[in-house]
Amino acid sequence: MSYEARDRRRIRPAPVPGDAGPMQDPNYKRLFSFPRMVEDLLRGFLPGQWLAELDFSTLDKLPTEYVSDELLRRHGDCVWRVRRRGGWLYLLVLLEFQSTDEPRMALRILAYTSLLYQELVRNDALDAGGRLPAVLPIMLYNGEARWRAAVEVGELIAPVGPELAPYQPSQRYHVVDERHVGAEDLPGTNLMAAVLGLEQSRTPGDVVRVAGLLVEWLRDPRDRELKRTFTDWVWRLAGQFTPGDAEPAPVRTLEGVRMTLEERLAEWPKQWFREGHEQGVREGVEQGIERGIEQGLEHERALLRRLAASRFGAETAERLSGVLAGIADPEGLAEVGEWLVRCETGGEFLARVDPAAGGAARRGDRGRSHSRGN
């Protein structure tokens, strides 16, 4: 019986006691079941001459439970292997969806590696000299807080003198901290740049830009299923920016997603602010109409400040506060919201909203004068 047949005959689902939290978006996890994603992950974050030793055409995904029957299977983790000069390289790709880092991740990965080696020994899958293959653990983390846990298992062990040091285990893993790394240094069409762009998206405009890149990068018919997976993820993410309780209608193509988002880009901020204004008016029924309207405007200003801080930083949000104080009508605030999602930088945004604020303030003044005249 072949080695591959023995591999797959042994595999059966394992229970998942104590699994951490609900499953994440399955479309996200599916991305790393595609060889191109694994290749781009390596080329993007582990560059070096050693990559020339790898034959990426041999990338082979093994079932999650392959590591061992005893392994507590985690949602999203996967095991790949790729031919290299002198044998196989095994890749442990872990997807960490926790909001903060896991202090003992290095220990868990050491256990994974040990279980993998035991399985390879049982399958008689060593090289001609009876040696174990190399293992490369990579963890993708998408939490808001930066990953600060130890990446070397030796850091978890109490300090020892030089006599005991050689007897302690040693292994590193590589972290891709998706929300805190830049995509600018990645190769031109590396799909990990799109993953980072989606993870770091804060506005519909951010999602539109990434969708446009993916349309260009996934034209090869061989990437059809990968493209479909990205399409589902992009559309789910776009749904987070849909105002109110509205659910975006499903779109079947990435080109359709991009076009639909572009069409709605200017309307969503206006709807957000209309809803905030209407909420203030409803509150004004009990508190007095004029006070309620002003409260609705303040809801809108507060939302704009939060969005500006998230998109461009606290300094831009602070400078925006003075601008917003001069805007006295919902349409003017909606106009600011539109520039917030369209502009690329905080400087460009502030330059755009100053004239918008002036025009809105003048309209508000004219409206109040007209009311007094009546």
pLDDT in tens, 13-69: 333 333 333 335 677 788 999 999 999 999 999 988 899 999 999 999 987 655 544
pLDDT at residue 94, as a whole number: 87
pLDDT at residue 152, as a whole number: 96
Q: Nearest to residue 216, comparing CAs of 251, 191, 183?
A: 191
The residue that leads in pLDDT, 260 or 286, is 260
pLDDT confidence band for 258 (50 / 70 / 90): confident
Q: 10 Å Cβ neighbour count for 116?
A: 22
pTM: 0.68
Mean pLDDT estimate for the chain: 76
- Residue 352 CA to residue 146 CA, distance in Å, equals 33
Query: Any idea which of 19-23, 110-114, 346-350, 352-356 has the lowest mean pLDDT?
Result: 19-23
Q: 10 Å Cβ neighbour count for 167?
A: 7
| pLDDT above 50 (res 3) | no
Q: Provide mean pLDDT across the span 214-230.
A: 93
pLDDT at residue 186, as a whole number: 84
pLDDT confidence band for 138 (50 / 70 / 90): very high
- Residue 78 CA to residue 67 CA, distance in Å, equals 9
Structure tokens at 160: 């020892």
Residue 6's identity, in one-letter code, is R
| pLDDT above 70 (res 348) | yes
pLDDT at residue 169, as a whole number: 95
- Residue 16 CA to residue 65 CA, distance in Å, equals 11
What 3-state DSSP class applies to 372?
Answer: helix
